[in-house]
Amino acid sequence: MRAQAVVPTTDRVLAERVANAGDETAFRELYGRHTPRLYQFVLRVLGGDEAEAEDVVQETWIRATTNLGSFRWEARFETWLTGIGLNLSRNRLRRSGRLDELGDEGRRGVEPRGRDERIDLERAIALLPAGCRTVLILHDLEGFKHSEIAEKLGVTEGTSKSQLWSARRHMRQLLGPAA
């Protein structure tokens, strides 16, 4: 009697099927594995705009699928995908004037809340200025180091650290007792 063990297909095998043969089944498997995390990440970076996050996720998959052949598999597929989503999100924020250059916006502050207005942590993150919000998400939620954040965002480690400091300060303001 023979038994069969089921071994999940790796991302690489699935990606090669997509790149080499346009295999829709393989793509859907990849999509199902990585989209929930990608979507949540992009949604946060964009400040909670669901329609915009959906557009970015779609564009991320198109970019990723187009460039699958050039991915060298030295990093995790998920990390690569997140990087594409991050860049596309930042491009959108920049084009719409919501992303100031990192280094300045952290000092801009956040909108003051009215008396008795209480907000939760998710909302507080969404209300942060886009640049320092991105750093906070990458560092405090996604677990990236400052050196990695600096590389992803094209800034210095010092800028990443100061943006994180600003983000945490703003977040505490938003979550603290209302004025």
Residue numbers at the binding site for other proteins (CB under 8 A): 2-9, 13-14, 17-18, 20-29, 31-32, 35-37, 39-40, 43, 50, 53-54, 57-58, 61-62, 65-66, 121-122, 140-141, 161-162, 164-165, 168-169
| CB contact at 8 A, 170 and 129 | yes
Closer residue to other proteins in complex, CB, 37/113: 37
Q: Which is nearer to other proteins, 88 or 115 (CB)?
A: 88
Question: How far, in Å, CA of 146 to CA of 155, rounded?
Answer: 10
Least distance in Å: CB of 97 to other proteins?
26
Buried b (16+ CB within 10 A) or exposed e, 84-97: bbbbbbbebbeeee
Select 23 or 148, whichever has its Cβ closest to other proteins: 23
Please state the closest distance from residue 2 (CB atom) to other proteins, in A.
6
What is the C-alpha to C-alpha distance for residues 158 and 177, in angstroms, rounded to an integer?
A: 30
Give the angle subtended at the CA of 160 by the CAs of 155 and 163, to the nearest 5°.
120
Cβ 142 to other proteins shortest distance, Å:
8
C-alpha dihedral (46, 47, 51, 57), degrees to nearest 10: 30
Closer CB to other proteins, 108 or 123, in the complex: 123
Name the minimum Å distance from CB 8 to other proteins. 7
- Token pair 């992303």 in the structure block, residue: 99
Token reading at 109: 């502050």
Nearer to other proteins, 3 or 74 (CB): 3
Q: Residue 1 Cβ, how far from other proteins at the closest point, in Å? A: 11
